[in-house]
Amino acid sequence: MCTSYYRPKLILHVSAGATPKDGSSDGCTMIISLLSLAIKRPLRKDLAMTSEVTLTGRILPIFGVKEKIIAAWRSEIKTIIFPAANRINFDELSDNVKEGFDVHFVDDYSKIF
């Protein structure tokens, strides 16, 4: 009798074809959105996140932390999830740019939900 079991995985690849882009930093958002849908637990409306996710669940660093903070402010976002590797970029921002945000830094997608 085989004691191992099969753990199904969902691998989502969204290619942009000829569309130029800087990166695929919406991976963690797609994963958490699908998980939220699967377990019927809605996400907060004031939450934003960004990062590419590897097949093993690692959250990869992003570019444009300041620009993403400004976009969050304009969209009335209060909670942001950034890759742990970008903590130094966030810490370098002036206090008035960071003011009013609840920022979390993660290195694995399982720590988001």
Instruction: From the candidates 36, 40, 45, 68, give the one annotated as an active-site residue.
Output: 68
- Residue at token pair 């003011």: 99
In the residue annotation, 68 being an active-site residue is answered as yes
Give the CA angle between residues 68, 71, 75 to the nearest 5°: 135
Query: What is the C-alpha separation between 37 and 27, in angstroms, rounded?
Result: 16
Instruction: From the candidates 21, 25, 75, 78, give the one annotated as an active-site residue.
Output: 25
Query: What is the C-alpha separation between 73 and 70, in angstroms, rounded?
Result: 5
Query: What is the C-alpha separation between 59 and 86, in angstroms, rounded?
Result: 10
In the residue annotation, 4 being an active-site residue is answered as no
Which residues belong to the active site?
Answer: 25, 68
